[in-house]
């Protein structure tokens, strides 16, 4: 049954239904540690099969299978408007579940999801093919076709954002979609079922289910799902890829972890660089895959720069503890107790080598707030410097030359994003070309834009989301030869 306050059921075939599984998720509000009165129902094998069957029917024989690109776009544009209209409600649900400030959710992340639907709606009637003349006696046609039933597994740090990134390109291409939000933040996605109906999507086109790793595994290994898109840790991404390969060799897009570098050269606009690398890093309490958690600063400006970052961290720390649901709160807690313990364990490891120059402690006596923490020249071989922490822990290391900075930036197994701060455009282009990362921003923290592809190198995953590349990842290419 649905909670009196929160929608907790599964959304399958344009209906809210109780899960066949008896398992439920237990949620805690990270602001104060209180239990959330929402027993979110977990999709088991039978539930996943039902969702896949509905998606398959919609793709093969339902009204959706006959929709033109402009008809698909009409539903998508309406859905985007509805997301915007419900942004405050959606942001509050995310804040309750994982602590994100509603000001960030409603003002930035959720509108970005709506923007993705509008962007891909523009592509829906522009999917072109190719043809080649019959100079050799054969007329040749190249077709780009939808894959069929697709599925997405989202992380907990920005649930609605990934609805836009994953579902929008898929349905623009004519696919159907099953979306599983994280077990840490499932509340907002479940509300979207009503918006799917109101937007005019036929049954089975977009479905929302909840659950943890087991449910995700059912999607990744399902023989009738043609593609899986996963965002999360490198460790889990490897499991998803293995399940996809060993089942039906389904297509896989993996946007995985990062230990992203930020390079600050002496000729940079220092106030901008400080704000971007300090305040920008602490967006969503550092729980952002593209966060520049390794900060490299040119030696000649390092003392003053470090002091400026310390000042920003101290100022932000003084604001911690406020309810993230108030419109003026910009920094909240980490997602839950497990994440709090994980981040604090990294801080404790860092302290074994050297004390942080600021932060390093729990903030307050309730909830899961952690002081913004800064390590200067930490152990280069240690976990704090080399592993993704996914929390408000920043490391600063100095460099002397451009070549050294590039070497430091690339000395990681991941390659998701990077940022370069300099007033020299020639240097910016030269350094960005040499950084082994899928995404580089100049004089700003990196945040993806729907017009261009987003995806990492090395252990940060494979495939691309956003831009025309994101659309292409939800299509297959067929050659037709006419003699």
Contacts of 115 (CB under 8 A, 6+ apart): 80, 164, 450
Q: What percent of the chain has pLDDT over 70?
A: 99
Closest CA to 151 of 251, 63, 68: 251
Rounded to whole angstroms, the Cα distance separating 128 from 147 reads: 16
Which pLDDT band, with edges at 50, 70 and 90, does 5 fall under?
confident
**For the residues 13-34, what does the mean pLDDT come to?**
97
For residue 194, the Cα-to-chain-centroid distance in whole angstroms is 23
Give 413's DSSP letter. S
Helix (H) or strand (E) holding 428: helix 425-434
Catalytic residue status for 41:
no
Q: What is the pLDDT of residue 482?
A: 98
Which whole number is the average pLDDT over 131-145? 97
Residue 289's φ and ψ, nearest 5 degrees, are -65, -30
Q: Per the residue annotation, which of 75, 150, 252, 289 is the catalytic one?
A: 289
DSSP tag of 261: E
Q: What's the pLDDT tens digit per position in 375-414?
A: 999 999 999 999 999 999 999 999 999 999 999 999 999 9
Going by pLDDT thresholds of 50, 70 and 90, the confidence category of residue 286 is: very high
* Mean pLDDT within 81-99: 98
Stretch 280-303: mean pLDDT: 97
Q: What is the pLDDT of residues 450-481, one digit of tens each?
A: 999 999 999 999 999 999 999 999 999 999 99
The token duo for 220 is: 């990744």
Q: Give CA–CA dist 60/159, Å, rounded.
A: 29
Q: Kindly tell me if the per-residue pLDDT of 216 is higher than 70.
A: yes
Token representation of residue 212? 């943890």
Q: What is the pLDDT of residue 168?
A: 98
Q: What percent of the chain stands above pLDDT 90?
A: 99
- CB atoms closer than 10 angstroms to residue 36: 18
Cβ neighbours of 288 (radius 10 Å): 22
Which pLDDT belongs to residue 245? 98
pLDDT band at 3 (very low <50, low <70, confident <90, very high): very low
Task: Look up residue 384 and give its two tokens.
Answer: 């704090």
Report strand pairing: 139-146 vs 149-153: unpaired
Confidence of residue 431 (pLDDT cuts 50, 70, 90): very high
List CB contacts of 71: < 8 A, sequence separation 6 or more: none
The mean per-residue pLDDT over the stretch 116-141 comes to: 97
Tell whether the model's pLDDT for residue 2 goes beyond 80. Answer: no
Tell me the whole-structure pTM to 2 decimals: 0.96
Going by the DSSP 8-state scheme, the letter that residue 36 receives in this structure is P
Closest to 224 (Cα-Cα) out of 48, 72, 96, 399:
48
For range 237-265, the mean pLDDT: 97
Predicted local distance difference test score (pLDDT) of residue 145? 98
How far is the C-alpha of 455 from the C-alpha of 156, rounded, in Å?
18
Is residue 90 predicted with pLDDT exceeding 50? Answer: yes
**289 annotated active-site:** yes
Say how far apart CA 458 and CA 475 lie, in whole Å. Answer: 24
State the average pLDDT over residues 67-80.
Answer: 98
Asked whether residue 426 carries a pLDDT value surpassing 60, the answer given is yes
Find the mean pLDDT for residues 157-177: 98
Q: Which two tokens stand for residue 161?
A: 């954002």
Query: Is 70 exceeded by the pLDDT of residue 417?
Result: yes
pLDDT of 4 above 80: no
Torsion of CA 96, 101, 105, 106, to 10 degrees: 100
The angle subtended at Cα 115 by Cα 112 and Cα 116, nearest 5°, is: 90
Q: Which residues pair with 16 in a beta bridge?
A: 11
Rounded CA-CA distance 413/192 in Å is 37
Which residues face 481 on adjacent strands? Answer: 140
Q: Quick one: how far is CA 140 from the chain centroid?
A: 39
Catalytically annotated residue among 7, 183, 255, 371: 255
Average of per-residue pLDDT across 119-133: 97
Would you place residue 436 in the very low, low, confident or very high pLDDT band (cuts 50, 70, 90)?
A: very high
Contact 106, 84 (CB under 8 A): no
pLDDT (mean) for 337-346: 98
Residue range 322-344: mean pLDDT, rounded: 96
Strand order in the sheet with 393-399: 373-376, 393-399, 294-298, 261-264, 418-421, 440-442
Question: For residue 284, what pLDDT band results from cuts at 50, 70 and 90?
Answer: very high
């Amino acid at each position: 049954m649905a909670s009196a306050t929160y929608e907790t059921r599964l959304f399958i075939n344009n209906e809210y239904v109780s899960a066949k599984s008896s398992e439920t998720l237990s949620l805690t509000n990270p602001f104060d540690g209180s239990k959330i009165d929402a027993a979110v129902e977990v999709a088991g094998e039978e539930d996943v099969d039902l969702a896949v069957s509905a998606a398959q029917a919609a793709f093969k024989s339902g009204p959706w299978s006959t929709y033109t690109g402009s008809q698909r776009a009409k539903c998508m544009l309406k859905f985007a408007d509805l997301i915007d209209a419900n942004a405050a409600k959606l942001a509050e649900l995310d804040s309750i579940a994982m602590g994100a400030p509603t000001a960030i959710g409603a003002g930035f992340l959720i509108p970005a999801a709506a923007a993705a639907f509008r962007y891909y709606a523009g592509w829906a009637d522009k999917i072109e093919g190719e043809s080649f003349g019959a100079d050799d006696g054969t007329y040749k046609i190249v077709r780009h076709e939808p894959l069929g039933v697709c599925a997405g597994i989202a992380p907990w740090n920005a649930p609605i954002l990934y609805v836009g990134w994953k579902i929008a390109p898929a349905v623009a291409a004519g696919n159907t979609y099953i979306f599983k939000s994280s077990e840490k933040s499932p509340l907002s996605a479940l509300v979207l079922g009503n918006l799917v109906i109101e937007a005019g999507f036929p049954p089975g086109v977009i479905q929302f289910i909840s659950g943890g790793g087991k449910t995700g595994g059912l999607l990744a290994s399902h023989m009738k799902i043609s593609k899986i898109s996963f965002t999360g840790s490198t460790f889990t991404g490897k499991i998803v890829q293995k399940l996809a390969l060993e089942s039906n060799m389904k297509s896989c897009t993996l946007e995985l972890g990062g230990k992203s570098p930020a390079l600050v050269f002496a000729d940079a606009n220092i106030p901008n660089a400080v704000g971007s690398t300090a305040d920008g890093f602490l967006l969503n309490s550092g729980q952002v895959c593209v966060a520049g958690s390794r900060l490299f600063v040119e030696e000649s400006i390092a003392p003053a720069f470090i002091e400026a970052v310390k000042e920003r961290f101290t100022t932000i720390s003084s604001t911690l503890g406020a309810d993230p649901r108030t419109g003026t709160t910009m920094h909240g807690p980490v997602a839950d107790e497990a994440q709090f313990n994980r981040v604090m364990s990294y801080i404790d490891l860092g302290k074994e080598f050297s004390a942080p120059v600021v932060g390093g402690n729990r903030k307050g006596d309730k909830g899961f707030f952690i002081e913004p923490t800064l390590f200067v020249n930490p152990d280069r071989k240690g976990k704090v410097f080399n592993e993704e922490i996914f929390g408000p822990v920043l490391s600063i290391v100095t460099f002397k030359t451009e070549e050294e900075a590039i070497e430091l930036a690339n000395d990681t197994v991941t390659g998701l994003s990077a940022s370069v701060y300099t007033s020299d455009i020639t240097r910016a282009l030269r350094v960005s070309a040499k950084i082994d990362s899928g995404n580089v921003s100049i004089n700003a923290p990196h945040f993806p834009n729907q017009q261009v592809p987003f995806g990492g190198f090395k252990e940060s995953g494979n495939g691309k989301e956003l831009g025309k590349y994101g659309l292409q990842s939800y299509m297959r290419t067929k050659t037709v030869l006419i003699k």
